[in-house]
């Protein structure tokens, strides 16, 4: 299976899992590769970030669910 297909599967599953717990997510299309690799402590050569997406609940969804 091509690498990009696996990444898309992970993305889809993240959106589905977020919805299941009443949260939201949004894929980030552009980021500073070297900076993000440094934040997650990977070397940028053998390991590197390929997908970035925050997951969370907004104030409105937190009020509605609880």
For the segment 13-55, what is each residue's pLDDT rounded down to a tens digit? 999 999 999 999 999 989 999 999 999 999 999 999 988 999 9
Q: What pLDDT is stored for residue 17 in this prediction?
A: 96
Q: What pLDDT is stored for residue 36 in this prediction?
A: 97
CA distance 7 to 51: 7
Tally helices (H) and strands (E) across the chain: 3, 2
What SS3 state is found at 25? strand
Show the domain range for 16.
3-65
Sign, CA torsion 48/7/56/26: positive
pTM of the complete model = 0.69
CA distance 39 to 62: 28
Beta carbons of 27 and 11 less than 8 angstroms apart: yes
More confident residue, 15 or 4: 15
Q: Report how many domains make up the chain.
A: 1
């Amino acid at each position: 299976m091509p690498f990009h297909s696996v990444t898309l599967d992970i993305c889809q599953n993240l959106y589905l899992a977020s919805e299941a717990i009443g949260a939201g997510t949004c894929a980030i299309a552009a980021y500073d590769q070297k900076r993000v690799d440094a934040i997650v402590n990977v070397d940028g050569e053998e390991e590197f970030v390929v997908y970035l997406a925050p997951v969370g609940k907004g104030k409105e969804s937190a009020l509605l669910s609880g």
